[in-house]
Structure 1
Amino acid sequence: MTTNDPGPEPEYLGADTSTGATTPGGTPLRGRGRRTGLVAAAAVAVVAAVGAGAYGVVQLMAGGSSPATAVPADAVGYVSLDLDPSASQKIEAFKILRKFPALKKELGLGDGDDLRRTVFEEIVKSGDCSDLDYARDVEPWIGDRVAMAAVPDSEQGALPLVVLQVTDQDKAKAGFRKIESCDGPTDQEPSRTGLAFRGDYMLVAETQQEADGIATDVDAATLADSEDFTTATGRTGDPGIVTMYASQDAPDAVMTAMRHDAGGSVDQGRIDQLGKSFASFQGAAGVLRFSDGAVEAEFSAKGLPEGAGGSAAQGGPDVSTLPGTTAAVLSVALRDGWLDSFTEGLRSSLGGDYDQMLAQGERATGLQLPEDIETLLGDGVSLSVDAGTDLKALTESPDPSKVPAGLRIQGDPAKITPIIDKLKAAAGPSGDLVKVASGDGVVAVGLDQAYVSQLLTQGTLGGVAAFEDVVPEPDRANAVVFVNFDAGRGWAEQLADLVSDGDPEVKQNVAPLDALGISGWTDGDDVQHGLVRLSTD
């Protein structure tokens, strides 16, 4: 079956229905037992997603409309695998995967093997499916795209839906029924998994009534045409291979599912807290794509619960001024009042033990808790490690004072250093190993005096090409993780050599890595963004 292809469109993630559906937050959507038919559907989805995914990237397969055209517009969660992104992405994926010997060998890149067959045969081996044959029962109808969704239900929160692209409806139905029956009888026989068809897709639900109802909803309006869907997915930039989406109604679906599954033992306090936390939630989306020699995952959301991260105006510690020889850094901004949010949850979970714990901490350290913790960490902290360490020499003769690692705290030195002094005193003689230095609005702490002093100078990390490539918004990022695999003396390969006891294959698979960047920021519209980018040489 074919339909008019409206062209490439982004698709995004919400719920996994393969082993008992869950919402985007991971809460079970149903209290029912494991249905053979839906599990069979998920197994076929794995064949399409994993097998066809790798194969499709390599073979540049194409064709068909988006799975979002076969999902109702009111779906609360959605995840899809698109094997027909732009040709440039496919070529990038092929080039990147081939750089890693282990992946090249495992995926058979370049030899034309159909990995769908390989995955299918592994599934057959794991169950009572000896009568199934991939070439006869699956290959004639399986397409290149798959999606899983959570469709809203007033009683249960949401219903699981698997959407598979097919090339022949009759063969797909016959093949699916054979897969379904190979798992043996269940306590729910003789009922069957529900199947329906819309366009290029087979819709798989737990019952035929559900499948027919969902198909009718698809006829009325599709997710691909939903303004909420297109707005949320549009915030994540270019579409890619894997796409994700959670609607603004997802929290309500989770709470309904919690009530349904709990029966008479509803934890109303937990439900109320969830509702309060997500009261302003306006949807989230994400995408996984290949771009410019890197694989990246980009996410966005609006109205998420407030965390430690700073606001759009505040940003975080300026990691771009760290030393240019930095091998790795973890940095986070701490917004005003972050500790109140943290301690509120801690007090709720610990009860009376919370106050006792604070009292013990005050006696041991001489600090005023928890207030001094907020003062100590200032407006944000950056933990960094330099690439200049000779790892082999360090393992042979450990000396903490030779480890170029340190903590840079953004805040008032006059308030921060007295707290550090109290902690050093509480630690006894070992506290003398800790070196502290302060500058204009910053305090550096570490074991290597030379590195601690270096943290106070204006470094050049922001000008390092690898950093610029994987951390695109350093000025307004309120959280950053950065790893430069090629920094210094090849520390990453040294580490791989040490960890693997000299296994050359491990070193070969680390060698192609260039840099990893994980960053988060909030834009002027209060939309939270996140980017994970792994680049290669």
Structure 2
Amino acid sequence: MSMTPGGPTNGPEYLDGSGPVETAPTNDTKKRLVALGAILAGGAVVAGGAWAATSFFATGAQPAEALPDSTVAYFSVDLDPSGGQKIEAIKTLRKFPGFADNVDLETDDDLRERLFEEITSSGECEGLDYAADVEPWLGSRAAMAAVDLGEDEPAAVGVVQTTDAGKAEDGLATLVDACGGSAEGDGGGGDGGEESSDGVGGWVVDGDWIVLAETEEIAQQVVDAADGSSLAADSSFTQWTGEAGDDGFMSMYVAKGVTKYVEDAAGMGMLGMPGSPFAPAPDAMGMDPECFENAAPEDIEECFETSDDAASGEPEEVPEELQQMINDFDGAAATVRFDDGAVEVEYAMSNYNKDLTRFVESEEGVEMISGLPEDTVAAFGFALEEGWAQGLLDYVKTLAPDETESIDEQIAEFESETGLAFPEDVETLLGDGVTVSMGGGLDPDAVANGGPGEVPAGIRIKGDADEIQAVLDKISAQAGPEAAEYLEVTEGDGYAVLALADDYRSALEDGGSLGDSATYSEVVDADEAQSVLFVNFNADDDWLVRLTKDMPEVSENLEPLAAFGFSTWVDDETVHGLMKVTTD
């Protein structure tokens, strides 16, 4: 449901905490070009979350209609929010002094004009007037995309809505003149689709949309390809954006077609950046692990070891397990939206690695979180199905088949030094479900003077307490007496309990009803979740504000926060995630 303007304000409100990202130009020409591009296609991205949080994905024509179904990646923004959403969002943002002091934004402001002012405030594009040169033709929706046009690399494309195609032609020409010289496009100058000398690019105005690309020829190719086979009508696009939930003010989509380029990168030994879903171990990819750990992102390529294939220019063979993951990837989508005053990010992606995700489908950990004390400050709950440790080991070995013997030797050495049996003891230690949580009463001064025993943190494990204690005794023997006192298991409410502070141990033993609290249910999808991260900012006398009281500017901007929740779950062919943030 949507918020009602002027409605009750008793419940929590929500916000998006993303921030602006800006790239410093290197010369005057680039400054003009960056300003031009930002006005046309990247305004909302340049302005960041402060602007985006005032938006709501309205109904009507969307940029996907102007792109072909060969689009492999898509990011859209809508700056035409419903009146109620805009008002409530700005009210929420203005609760944060950092926003209110630095962004003079009122509920009836034209966001496009404000973006225009921000982008041109450096003095570039002199002589432009928003009311005369931009407003008559600029629409409220825009997108950036990567389109497969049959080349070695996808074409980078921008799409901008226009309210008047004729005025758009003149307006674009005016923008180019003011911001960086000549460019090609429908009536915009240039010749034959060649890239303009100053790199502004080309465009084609087609109905309600302006398609921008490196050259006019590329832009026209995109328009022609979209005729009769648009992205908006593509079944995969419809499926994945639907899986990501209700419409929002930002939408993102990645198509299966992107695997063509992923596969090429993997074959050239160029895949595996930190965080990539297709990233095997560095040494499994012909990369020097030590170099990989220490190199800056821009220097990663230098860490690849030269192989006979690389020296000959031939692509390296993609590991079988990685190739299977690439084949199994079918798409992904994400949406950022307001929902009943909530700002939430929801995503869905194809379950391309079922060999691992089958171990995280239990809801036991989430059920355990529901039974924590209601005054819980923060908690993480999850569960792993039986066999997960061996499954993870087998997976690692498939990514690095040449390292299997070395991996077995390292495990044997680990078992010899610790006395632990892998994977049996590791699986026993995590049981059938785990929660890691923190309660109220955290006092940094007490912790500094009294040590770990003053920290109200603990773990609950669903499993046999005696068996868990036997594993912990092995760890204690290696860790020494100082650690051993914190590795003693007690039983409570059907769970094995570990805690640093005695009072918190008792609270965990007694259990509670966190899952029934309004704060928890507002940010966690308890019906679907199989793992949950939850933070209650209001708990324990606004604990985060209290802990940052020596930094007033930070503290006052944290005070409006109420709660945070991140829920994830696997539904057969699809991996889901939902993140929510609320404010008071």
Task: Tell me the TM-score range normalised by the shorter chain.
Answer: 0.7 to 0.9
5 Å-filtered alignment, 1:208-247, equals 208-247=216-255
Against the structure 1 CA distance between its residues 261 and 305, is the aligned structure 2 distance closer, same or farther, given a 3 Å change threshold?
Answer: closer
Change (3 A) 1:329 1:63: closer
Give 1:230 deviation, angstroms.
2.0
Counterparts of 1:59 and 1:41 in 2: how far apart (Å)? Answer: 21
Change (3 A) 1:172 1:339: farther
Instruction: Find out whether 1:68 has 2:26 as its counterpart.
Output: no
C-alpha separation in 1, matches of 2:454 and 2:199? 68
* Maintained 8 Å contact 2:125/2:179: no
Q: Deviations over 1:259-306 (max 9, x none)?
A: 589793533325x54431143333222111122332111112233323
Q: SS where residue 510 of structure 2 aligns?
A: coil
CA apart distance, 1:346? 4.5
2:332 to 260, 263, 284: 284
1:368 corresponds in structure 2 to 421
CA distance in 2, matches of 1:446, 1:69: 56
Output the CA distance in 1 between the equivalents of 2:565 and 2:468.
29
Higher relative contact order (CA 8 A, sep 6+): 1
Structure 1 match to 2:118: 119
Are the counterparts in 2 of residues 284 and 300 from structure 1 also a CA contact under 8 Å? Answer: yes
SS at match of 1:298: strand
Instruction: Using the TM superposition, give the Cα deviation of residue 203 of structure 1 relative to its aligned residue in structure 2, in angstroms.
Output: 0.8
Map of 1:535 onto structure 2:
582
Q: 2:142 aligned to 117, 142, 146, which one? A: 146
Take 1:52 and 1:431, find their aligned partners in 2: how far apart are those partners? 46
Residue pairs, 1:459-498, within 5 angstroms: 459-473=512-526, 476-497=528-549
Do the aligned partners of 1:48 and 1:144 also contact (CA within 8 Å) in 2? no
Shift of 1:469: 0.4
Letter in 2 for 1:449: D
Provide the rounded CA distance (Å) in 1 between the counterparts of 2:179 and 2:387.
54
Does the residue aligned with 1:249 lie in a helix, a strand or coil?
helix
Q: How far off is 1:210 after superposition?
A: 1.7
Is contact 1:79–1:149 with CA below 8 Å preserved after alignment?
yes
Q: Is this contact kept in 1: 2:363–2:529, CA < 8 A?
A: no
Residue equivalent to 1:301 = 349
1:194-215 per-residue CA deviation (whole Å, 9 max, x = no partner) reads: 3112232211122322211110
- Paired with 1:52 and 1:428, the residues of 2 have a C-alpha distance of 50
How far residue 381 of structure 1 moved from its aligned partner, in angstroms, is 2.1
Identity %: 35
- Answer yes or no: is the 8 Å Cα contact 2:145–2:156 preserved in 1: yes
1:521/1:69 CA distance change after superposition, 3 Å: same
- Match in the other structure for 1:177: 176
How far apart, CA to CA, are the structure 2 residues paired with 1:80 and 1:213? Answer: 20
Of residues 554, 566, 577, the one that matches 1:506 is 554
Alignment CA distance shift 1:403-1:183 (3 Å): farther
Within 5 Å, give how 1:84-163 maps onto structure 2: 84-110=80-106, 112=109, 114-121=113-120, 124=122, 129=124, 131=126, 133=128, 135=130, 138=134, 141-163=137-159
| CA–CA distance in structure 2, aligned partners of residues 433 and 335 of structure 1 | 29
The alignment's TM-score, normalised by the length of structure 2, stands at 0.74
Q: Which secondary structure state, in structure 2, belongs to the residue aligned with residue 91 of structure 1? A: helix
**Offset, 1:400:** 1.2
Q: Deviations over 1:458-490 (max 9, x none)?
A: 3111111110100122x5422111000011222
CA distance in 2, matches of 1:534, 1:75: 31
Structure 2 CA distance for partners of 1:90 and 1:315, relative to 1, 3 Å: farther
The corresponding residue for 2:382 is 332
Unaligned runs of 5+ in 2: 1-21, 24-29, 184-194, 271-309
Alignment CA distance shift 1:235-1:60 (3 Å):
closer
Instruction: Tell me by how many angstroms 1:102 deviates.
Output: 1.0
Alpha-carbon distance between aligned partners in 2 of 1:110 and 1:332, rounded to the nearest angstrom = 43
Equivalent position amino acid for 2:544 in 1: A
Within 5 Å, give how 1:28-43 maps onto structure 2.
41=37
- Could you give the per-residue CA deviations for residues 216-257 of structure 1, whole angstroms, max 9, x where no partner exists? 112122222222222222223321111111223332342246
Task: Classify the secondary structure of the residue corresponding to 2:540.
Answer: coil
**What one-letter code is carried by the residue in structure 2 that aligns with 1:121?**
T
Kindly indicate whether the alpha-carbon contact (under 8 Å) linking 1:47 and 1:119 is maintained by their aligned counterparts in 2.
Answer: no
Does residue 1:357 correspond to 2:410, yes or no?
yes
**Distance in 1 separating the partners of 2:374 and 2:518:** 10
Letter in 2 for 1:426: Q
Aligned to 2:315: 266
Q: Does 1:400 align with 2:452?
A: yes
CA distance in structure 2 between the partners assigned to 1:357 and 1:260 by the alignment: 29
> Which residue identity lines up with residue 479 of structure 1 in the other structure?
S
Contact residue 389 and residue 403 of structure 1 kept, 8 A? yes
**TM-score normalised per structure 1:** 0.80
Other structure's SS at 2:70 match: coil
Q: Number of paired residues?
A: 492
1:164 aligned onto 2:163 = no
> Which residue identity does 2:75 align to in structure 1?
V
Matched position secondary structure for 2:539? coil
What's the CA shift for 1:437?
1.5
**1:242-253 matched pairs, under 5 angstroms:** 242-253=250-261
Secondary structure of the structure 2 residue equivalent to 1:232: helix
Residue pair 1:152, 1:253 contacting (<8 A) in 2 also: no
Question: Aligned with 1:234: secondary structure?
Answer: helix
1:23 is matched with none
Other structure's SS at 1:364 match? helix
The equivalent position to 2:471 in structure 1, one of 414, 419, 428, is 419
- Report the Cα distance in structure 1 between the residues aligned to 2:524 and 2:75, rounded to whole angstroms: 26
Which residue identity does 1:424 align to in structure 2? S
Which residue is equivalent to 2:263?
255
- Mapping for residues 10-21 of structure 1, pairs under 5 Å: none
- 3-state DSSP class of the match of 1:376? helix
Q: Distance in 2 between matches of 1:63 and 1:317?
A: 36
The question of whether the paired residues in 2 share the 8 Å contact of 1:252 and 1:275 is answered with: no
Following superposition, the deviation at residue 314 of structure 1 comes to: 5.0
Unaligned runs of 5+ in 1: 1-17, 20-33
Q: Give SS of 2:519's match.
A: helix
Inter-CA distance 179–372: structure 2 relative to 1 (3 Å threshold)? farther
Deviations 1:327-356 (A, max 9, x none): 001222223333234334555569365344
- Secondary structure of the 2:327 match is coil
Specify the SS of the correspondent of 1:329. strand
Which amino acid in 2 is paired with 1:145? R
SS at match of 1:92: helix
Alpha-carbon shift at residue 183 of structure 1 (Å): 11
Measure, in 1, the Cα distance between the counterparts of 2:380 and 2:49.
Answer: 33
**Corresponding letter in the other structure for 2:176:** R
Query: For the Cα contact (< 8 Å) 2:55–2:78, is it kept in 1?
Result: no
